[in-house]
Copies of this chain bind each other. A is one copy, B any other.
Amino acid sequence: MPDRQDGYNPGKYPPFAVTVDIVLMTVVDGDLRVLLIQRGEGPFEGGWALPGGFVLPHENLDEAAGRELLEETGIRPDQGYMEQLGAYGEPYRDPRMRVVTVAYWAIAPRLRKAPSTPAAAARPEAKLLFFSREAPAAAARAPSPAEMESTAQQWKSKIRAGGDAAYAEMVPLAEIQSGRLSLAFDHRRIVDDAVDTLRARLETTTIAQGFCPPEFTIRELQEIYEAVWGTRLDAGNFYRDMVRRKGSLTPTESRTPSGEQGGRPAKLWRAGESPTFDRPYYRSPGRTRRRRRRDEDDDRPR
């Protein structure tokens, strides 16, 4: 606490800068990805870093994180999910001054997979999504209900070719954790912590649905779990396990526009009223056999 009997008095305190950094995660084609920006100046110029910025004097930490998310991606915090991760404050993590960063992690809904064979869609090095960092004023205005309806449309309108000095990109987590792509400051550690927390949250809450479009199939939800946990799950058991949990899913009348070259159309579901499961869905050891490799695709023989 600020003032106490140990020699400090108000006004004579060590001044710090306080920033927020955001680990925005999404799942694209079975890959967990993280939003990174390429730094345009300063230390680590040209390096990859988490989006973030200073906390302003009048706003609290959650508001600062929500504002930064909106400014950088056009995503409003209430469209997905956002939660504080923790504070990071090594003395020389920023070489210029003493900075304490409060990290947040957030979830962005994904675009629905384009109708085509899954094999074709997954393979040809699926194009990364680029988010413009320009025109923050336009991005900051509140979206209309129609705009909110389809986040996919919002995103598409912001995608550009990239290649500019400072841009943002959804980078596969594997690129970061394998070390092929290294991050500025202590952001690698922040990303690791965020992923750990996300993995744990999937056990007790329904936030995995936040990665999905407003209406989704149980199979799509399963793909989120598999991407985040890095495991394969039994489709039949997963279906029952999710539907059995009360309050987490609302059934819909509609079904998927039916399969490409066959397959039974899947029921569509909406998020339930409860943000948590009535009973946790644990990654038990038997359930989570390690997944081999991205794009080895499947365990089943053909």
Contacts and interface: CB of A to CB of B under 8 A. Distances in A.
Interface string A57-71: 111110000000001
Interface stretch (A91-99, A220-228, A251-259, A262-270): A91-99
B15 A17 contact: yes
A102 B185 CA distance: 20
B39 A1 contact: yes
A261 interface: no
Interface string A1-37: 1111110101101111111010000000000000000
The interface centre, meaning the residue of A10, A18, A56, A279 with most chain B CB atoms within 10 A of its CB, is: A18
B5 A40 contact: yes
A100 interface: yes
A90 B53 CA distance: 17
A168 to B, nearest CB: 12
Q: How many copies does the complex hold?
A: 2
Contacts of A88: 61
By secondary structure, the A interface counts as loop
Contacts of A53: 1, 4, 6, 8
Given A16-B18, A17-B15, A54-B13, A5 B99 contact: no
A56 B14 contact: yes
A202 interface: no
A173 to B, nearest CB: 20
Nearest to A64: B89
A84 interface: yes
A46 interface: no
Nearest to A93: B60
A55 interface: yes
Contacts of A1: 19, 21, 39, 49-53, 94, 101, 184-185
16 contacts: A1-B21, A1-B53, A2-B17, A4-B40, A6-B71, A6-B136, A8-B53, A13-B54, A14-B56, A15-B17, A60-B89, A61-B87, A61-B88, A61-B100, A87-B87, A100-B102
Interface of A: 1-6, 8, 10-11, 13-19, 21, 39-43, 49-61, 71, 84, 86-91, 94, 96-102, 133, 136, 166, 184-185, 279-280, 282, 285
Given A16-B17, A87-B102, 5 more contacts: A5-B40, A10-B97, A14-B54, A84-B87, A86-B86
